[in-house]
């Protein structure tokens, strides 16, 4: 289960003002699913609220397109003049947040929200307000502030210059109302289990940690008289965790109390930070934390960060495999106390990974060798080169981890842990190239198989072949770059690592050089059929330079190891 999603990924959670007519909801979600690459994760209709919350994920351009189509369809089939429900609302698509999940910044997500808002306002004539991180004014960050007055108050609001929409007309759209679009952080719903049935104790702990804290009182913390400020407002004692909402409750099904938390900004307070702080606060009140429960999904990085955190607390190297980091996080926070924690179902990147995306590296060694040895031309040299590079840098990681754990070398644990982490990142990237190289080869074969019965078909086929060939050039070139990066770590381990493992570093250098050379051969053979000569010349020059550098670095490492061995 290696790092399977290296592309940018965002989540979208639009709220539609219809929760009773499932046929209307289905028409909207059909539009979302019509966009290739989109994964619909959840559809949650509410009858009382007459509102449906939809969750889907994908790459940025796909998500923006799916969100636009959904907003358009909702505006066509939901009539706000007929709408009533318990939840506050101001439009057919009431709110549509974009949420960065993987390999994309909040700043980039804000730009996507603005792009979506501009298109909705211009093409659908729906007034659009931006909120949260995309807000155009500080007073518009809060959704409740924008939505004040709801749908019924829109005609007057739109006439107020202070409430001119960020996009779209400042005129009342009676059928669709207005839409709020924005960018916000990923919200994690997280419950922490206690060894008590006492809701009072659970609430006390929740008030200790939540950002809002508790109201300050004279004398008794619960029954005492409320202390107010000069404006007559209650003074609050803030909790210890920013961007955290929490309450204590008793769960009859489980037979114990929990701290129920919403982590509204995991960049401010991480899951492991919240867990550790509740452990501390509970201990002060004589209560023990027994485990925790994740409600919904979590980004991969949260689990990896938690794994590294707990390994560091143990004084162990953080440069271990992705699987071990996740398992460490699960065990450290007791995420499997109430039932098995399946990373494939709880970690968002794993849940949406395309089926078969890592077919080759999921095989055992024998199956992979058999697949390579079969009459099929793929996996071929490109995939094997990438795998050789992954094995080379894995040996460097091994030496680093052995050195980090060596008795008497404790003061160097941080250094070797950092080197092992860098090696692990390169390993994951190279493993990704194993399947990617085979996919690139398959794409070329598919392009050559396209029909060529007419001039138009011949032109389309030729273009497809060139596009596929360029990918088939870029993938082994990226393998070369990655494998070449490994030499710095390998050399450091040969020089400073555990002396009992320097020959492992040497074998790592041999593997890394094989990866670079193998990548070079694949770049060169694919450039032979590529028409863009300026690109071909620049690529060939870069590849030749990487090869020369790799060969030189390999020689330095082998000489270094030979000297340390006394040869």
Q: Which residues are catalytic?
A: 87, 437
Q: Which of 432, 444, 427, 437 is nearest to 380 (CA)?
A: 437
> 3-state secondary structure string, 400-433?
HHHHHCCCCCHHHHHHHHHHHHHHHHHHHHHHHH
Residue 145's CB: how many other CB atoms inside 10 A?
A: 12
CB 37 within 8 A of CB 58: yes
For residues 234 and 230, give the distance between their C-alpha atoms in angstroms, rounded to a whole number.
9
User: Angle, to 10 degrees, between the axis of helix 455-496 and the axis of helix 533-565?
Assistant: 20
Query: Where would I find the H helices in 160-198?
Result: none
- The SS3 assignment for 289 reads strand
For residues 111 and 132, give the distance between their C-alpha atoms in angstroms, rounded to a whole number.
13
Cis, peptide link before residue 250, omega less than 30° from 0: no
């009773």: which residue's tokens? 20
CB 50 within 8 A of CB 140: no
Q: Residues 414-418: contacts with CB within 8 Å, 24+ apart? A: 416/317, 416/319, 416/497, 417/312, 417/316, 417/317, 417/318, 417/319, 418/318, 418/319
For residues 101 and 351, give the distance between their C-alpha atoms in angstroms, rounded to a whole number.
13
What dihedral do alpha carbons 36, 37, 41, 43 form, nearest 10°? -20
Tokens found for residue 360: 């080759």
């Amino acid at each position: 289960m290696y790092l399977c999603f290296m592309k940018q990924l965002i989540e979208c959670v639009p709220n539609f003002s219809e929760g009773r007519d499932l046929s209307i909801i289905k028409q909207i979600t059909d539009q979302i699913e019509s966009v290739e690459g989109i994964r619909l994760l959840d559809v949650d209709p509410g009858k009382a609220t007459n509102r449906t919350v939809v969750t889907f994920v994908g790459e940025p351009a796909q998500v923006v397109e799916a969100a636009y189509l959904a907003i358009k369809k909702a505006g066509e089939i939901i009539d706000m003049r007929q709408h009533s429900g318990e939840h506050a609302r101001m439009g057919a698509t009431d709110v549509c947040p974009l949420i960065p999940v993987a390999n994309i910044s909040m700043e980039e997500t804000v730009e996507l929200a603005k792009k979506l808002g501009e298109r909705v306002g211009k093409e659908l004539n729906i007034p659009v307000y931006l909120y949260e991180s995309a807000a155009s004014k500080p007073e518009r960050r809060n959704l409740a502030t924008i939505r004040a007055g709801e749908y019924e108050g829109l005609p007057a609001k739109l006439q107020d210059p202070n409430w001119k929409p960020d996009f779209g007309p400042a005129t009342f759209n009676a059928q669709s109302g207005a839409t709020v679009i924005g960018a916000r952080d990923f919200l994690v719903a997280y419950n922490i289990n206690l060894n008590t049935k006492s809701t009072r104790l659970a609430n006390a702990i929740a008030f200790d940690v939540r950002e809002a804290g508790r109201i300050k009182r004279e004398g008794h913390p619960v029954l005492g008289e409320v202390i107010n400020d000069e404006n007559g407002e209650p003074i609050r004692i803030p909790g210890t965790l920013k961007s955290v909402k929490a309450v204590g409750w008793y769960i009859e099904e489980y037979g114990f109390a929990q701290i129920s938390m919403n982590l509204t900004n995991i960049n401010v307070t991480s899951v492991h930070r919240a867990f550790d702080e509740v452990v501390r606060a509970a201990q002060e009140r004589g209560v023990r934390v027994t485990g925790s429960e994740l409600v919904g999904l979590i980004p991969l990085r949260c689990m990896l960060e938690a794994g590294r955190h707990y390994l560091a607390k143990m004084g162990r190297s953080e440069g271990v495999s992705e699987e071990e980091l996740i398992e460490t996080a699960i065990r450290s926070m007791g995420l499997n106390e109430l039932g098995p924690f399946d990373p494939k179902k709880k970690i968002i990147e794993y849940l949406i990974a395309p089926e078969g995306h890592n077919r080759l590296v999921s095989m055992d060694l024998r199956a992979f060798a058999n697949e390579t040895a079969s009459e099929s031309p793929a996996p071929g040299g490109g995939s094997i080169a990438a795998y050789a590079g992954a094995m080379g840098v894995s040996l460097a990681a091994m030496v680093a981890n052995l050195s980090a754990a060596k008795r008497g070398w404790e003061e160097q644990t941080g250094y070797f842990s950092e080197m092992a982490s860098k090696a692990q990142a390169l390993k994951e990237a190279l493993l990704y190239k194993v399947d990617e190289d085979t996919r690139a080869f398959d794409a070329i074969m598919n392009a050559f198989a396209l029909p060529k019965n007419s001039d138009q078909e011949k032109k389309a086929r030729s273009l497809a072949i060139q596009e596929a060939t360029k990918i088939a050039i870029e993938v082994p070139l990226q393998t070369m770059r990655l494998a070449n990066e490994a030499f710095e770590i390998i050399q450091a381990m040969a020089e400073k690592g555990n002396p009992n493992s320097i020959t492992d570093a040497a074998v790592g250098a041999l593997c890394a050089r094989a990866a670079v050379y193998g990548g070079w051969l694949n770049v060169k053979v694919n450039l032979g059929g590529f028409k863009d000569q300026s690109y071909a010349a620049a690529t060939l020059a870069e590849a030749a330079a990487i090869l020369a550098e790799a060969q030189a670095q390999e020689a330095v490492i082998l000489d270094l190891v030979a000297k340390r061995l006394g040869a």
